Amino acid sequence: MTSRRTLLKGTLFGGAAALLPTAASASGGGPVLRLPAPSGPYPVGMQTVHLTDPSRTDPWVGGVRELMLTVLYPARSAHGFSRAPQLTPAEAREFAGLAPHIHPGLPQPGTVDWGAVLTHGHVGAPPLPGRRPVLVYSPGGGDSRTLGTTLAEDLASRGRVVVLVDHPGDASQVELPTGLRTTVLFGPPDPATFRTMVDTRIADLRLVLDRLGTLPLAGVMDSRRIGLYGHSAGGTAVVYAALDDRRVGAVANLEGYLDLYPTPAGPDRPLLLFRTDGFDNAARIESSWAGVPGRRELLPDANHWAFTDYGSLAPRLQASGLVTAPARTALVGTGDPALTLAEVRRRVGTFFARHLS
């Protein structure tokens, strides 16, 4: 049995946002958080999807493997369709208690109303006509899919269908139709646990690719233009998931190690290798990427979680006195959050536009 220790330390979860420091939450639980708006020309529609894989046993708790997905897409109109909360009430309650234990320095329970965060995804909005490239996202180790909302919404607002994948058991919290699942993993990962986590994510991603044609929005997905992208352990997983899967046309790895299995020695398909200049494990990143063909990009004045919604959130929390300067730097670096967000959006968006056109 694989050890059940790993990634709460050194990971972030949940709602990310532009913070309004002076606004009180409706529930009295602290300031209201707002996500940065997408920059593309289309409103964003949103649906959630539950998948099961009867052929696999969940490695963490046993039973049939289950996944939750959020599907974001360019909408024809958002008029009359409500914006979805980033976290369900049950997820928000769980995250509020987890946050200060995930990273010392994150706000204590009651200081931020995580349940009040709204996405820019309009539930059930009609999709824009036409078939669109599909991008599938795997979050960082221990993270829930919600941590990638801001980048995904921007990609959707520019004409892509984006599928955010939760990996239950690994994810901090995820609400399934069968109930709330919380992480079973605590502490830094041992090698066997990390391998189990990545192997599980690879299988999860391939299940999603297998089921794209059965999803509610299959009619607007172009199966000839599929990309994978992921952050940290998700970046690791998407590269390995694509190795033997010719359905995948391009892959973006946002600071994930590539030393778990052998990687191709020669050109295979377009690969973006995107890292920050402040990550304390940069030497391992560079060593594991050595000899891997791909386009290398560096995000300046940034740290590991600048690729996630916390790139916008941490500086605002610092300005509000809820996060210290050292905690902010350790999470996302010292750069201007607006410039950092614009660079992440531009480089990831341009990469997929070039290779999935």
pLDDT tens column, 10-34: 333 333 333 333 333 333 355 677 8
Hey, what are 50's tokens? 């539950």
Contact call for residues 50 and 71 (beta carbons, < 8 A): no
What pLDDT score was predicted for residue 19?
36
pLDDT of residue 191 exceeding 70, the answer is yes
Higher local confidence (pLDDT), 291 or 29: 291
Contact 84, 119 (CB under 8 A): yes
- Tell me how far CA of residue 156 lies from CA of 32, 60, 67, 122, in angstroms: 25, 32, 21, 12
Amino acid at 211: R
pLDDT at 114: 85
Q: Which helix (H) or strand (E) holds 349?
A: helix 337-355
Pairwise pLDDT comparison (2 vs 238), residue with the higher score: 238
* DSSP letter string, 147-171: GGHHHHHHHHHTT-EEEEE--TTTS
User: How many Cα atoms are found within 13 Å in the side-chain-facing hemisphere of 101?
Assistant: 14
Evaluate whether residue 273 is within a structural domain.
yes
Asked if residue 5 is part of any domain, the answer here is no
Whether 348 maps to a domain, the answer reads yes
**Is 141 strand, coil or helix?**
coil
Burial label for 326, CB within 10 Å (0-12, 13-18, 19+), is exposed
DSSP codes joined into one string, 172-238: SEEEETTEEEE----SSPPHHHHHHHHHHHHHHHHHHHHHGGGSTTGGGEEEEEEEEEEETHHHHHH
Q: Is residue 345 domain-resident?
A: yes
Mean local confidence (pLDDT), 295-299: 96
- 162: which strand partners? 72, 135
Q: How many Å apart are CA 197 and CA 217, to the nearest integer?
A: 28
Domain count, the chain: 1
Query: Predicted confidence band at 290 (pLDDT cuts at 50, 70, 90)?
Result: very high
User: In this structure, what DSSP letter does residue 117 have?
Assistant: -
Alpha carbons 143 and 140: distance in angstroms, whole number? 5
Each residue's pLDDT tens digit, 51-99: 999 999 999 999 999 999 999 999 999 999 999 999 999 999 998 888 7
As a whole number of angstroms, the distance between CA 159 and CA 302 comes to 28
In a domain, 136, yes or no: yes
Which amino acid does the sequence have at 233? A
* CATH number assigned to the domain comprising residue 219: 3.40.50.1820
* Residue numbers of the domain that contains 98: 18-355
Answer yes or no: are the C-beta atoms of 154 and 38 closer than 8 Å: yes
Q: Which amino acid is at 247?
A: R
Tell me whether residue 312 is in a domain: yes
Mean pLDDT of the chain: 88
Whether residue 89 is contained in a domain is answered as yes
In a domain, 6, yes or no: no
Mean pLDDT to the nearest integer, 339-347: 98
- Residue 105 has a pLDDT of 79
- pLDDT surpassing 50 at residue 269: yes
